[in-house]
Chain A
């Protein structure tokens, strides 16, 4: 074996170790921020009450129970919100001295960001568990078997991982935590609401309906509803992403990760403040 390949092997092993160390650090940090945890659990619970009962009482979904329809949408919303947290946290890190400390250590340049995205994913799991609990309490069920339910959650996590990288990108570009919050909140808010998360887009005005149908969040939520065996409503014809929601979600998530992650690593290693 050549010396170069031994070095490369070492580099890969160290890179994985660095990513693990970074993930570990962010998880310890995350668990010591009870206000953030409380917020990320509370908001989805409020949504369950608000949309499940307050608005939901006057929303009709053809061929199904609204709260069953709603829950996969709220899973998607919690993922969107977690990318907000990532963006704000990365922007905060970038304005503090800790980045300089990391950048003078002999660690893989991608390690800190990989740690950030994985820890966000892992810290999101308890939130998802609370959401599932709420869902079960309000009558939502995974009606298509455990296997498909697990697949659905894996799909949500994959998409969440991709959204985490978008959050990192915003955090790196924003320049301040406040700016990051504003920049990412508006698109996530619009993506969340102009979609099939809360209502069937079939009843929206034509121009808005087109946006809602092609919105990737609609594909994600439709995939979730399919795998959970929840009511979907009649699928609109001619919208490829909704006819193939699982393929769309996986494909899009992979494209986001493959394109955005390397950009983030370059931005991070070049940033000089």
Chain B
């Protein structure tokens, strides 16, 4: 088994009293594409900023290409490419000059930097625009140039933070095509997105995060397989690991733990839900919420990322914590 290209364990980060990341762990095998799926404010960008050495974590640790991002930031930076949400290209330089400057900063040398810039302009269909100042570019062109900039030094691991947010459908299609080309070349990619279909189209594995916690993960197929089958989900906000484990065992072989909640298929629907509630009461487990989830294709993302919005649609039973 090869070591994962990205490995994060229990990452946590707060900004003042706001807990952006509570507990996020993920592994991305080398050469695969992982999508970090979540709403605005779910903690996606914070996770990426920690993994790309831009932000120290408060808790947990992370390895990129086997190197600790906190203690070996300089070496990590020689192995990663990053494209953030905000444009990082200099508007007063041409596309070609921007890429060439990055090449020089990556110590490729002047001549090789120019060659690499030409290659990338070609690859990203920007040859005609290479000699134009970036301020004359369209949004999709800037994003593609930014993407090209993160590839100048041919990184092992590429981080793309919402690479298509704010783009029109044409621009989005262009960026998707570029990402597919890279993946075909064997680059490991971690991308964040708010769009399920984007994750579905590009990713080998999807990690859904919400409010700083991992709420679901698996291949697109696994996540889809879970759709259409009712699930019972038990939220255990204040519980310790042992309690979470007891509940997992109670819910049977197919039960899965996502952060502080446990879910399992409930093939008999409300009957299963009733049984589970009775058993949990007997055990005396302090429970926040027990619910039956009936996800549809459109709702899978909503279901795992927003409990309160689901309360109306779900057959929810409040259990007091005594």
Binding site for B on A (CB under 8 A): 14, 17-18, 21, 24-25, 28-29, 32-33, 96-98, 100-107, 111, 272
Shortest CB distance B156–A (Å): 13
Closest to B15 in A: A272
CB of A17 within 8 A of CB of B88, answer: no
Q: A21 — which chain B residues lie within 8 A by C-beta? A: 101, 104-105
Minimum-distance CB pairs A-B, first 6: A97-B86, A101-B88, A97-B88, A21-B104, A106-B77, A106-B78
Q: Which residue of B lies closest to A107 (CB)?
A: B105
B183 to chain A, nearest CB (A): 20
CB-nearest residue of chain A to B107? A14
Most chain-B CB neighbours within 10 Å: which of A17, A106, A111, A272?
A: A106
Interface of A is mostly: helix
Stretch touching chain A among B24-32, B51-59, B303-311: B51-59
B107 touches A106 (CB 8 A): yes
- Distance in Å: Cβ of B73 to nearest Cβ of chain A: 9
- B: contact size bracket: 20 to 34
Q: How far is the CA of A28 from the CA of B80 in the complex (A)?
A: 27
Across the interface, do A100 and B106 meet the contact criterion of CB distance under 8 Å? no
Nearest CB on A from B89, distance (A): 8
Q: Please determine whether A102 and B93 come into contact, CB atoms closer than 8 angstroms.
A: no
The answer on a CB contact under 8 Å between B105 and A103 is no
Query: Considering the complex, which residues of chain B in the window 74-115 have a beta carbon less than 8 Å from any beta carbon of chain A?
Result: 74, 77-78, 80, 82, 84-90, 92-93, 97, 101-102, 104-107
Q: What would be 19 A-B contacts, judged by CB atoms less than 8 Å apart?
A: A17-B107, A21-B101, A21-B104, A25-B90, A28-B93, A29-B92, A96-B86, A96-B88, A97-B84, A97-B88, A100-B54, A101-B102, A104-B82, A105-B77, A106-B74, A106-B77, A106-B105, A106-B107, A107-B105
Give the residues in chain B near A32, CB-CB below 8 Å: 92, 133
Residues of A within 8 Å of B93, CB to CB, are 25, 28-29
B163 to chain A, nearest CB (A): 13
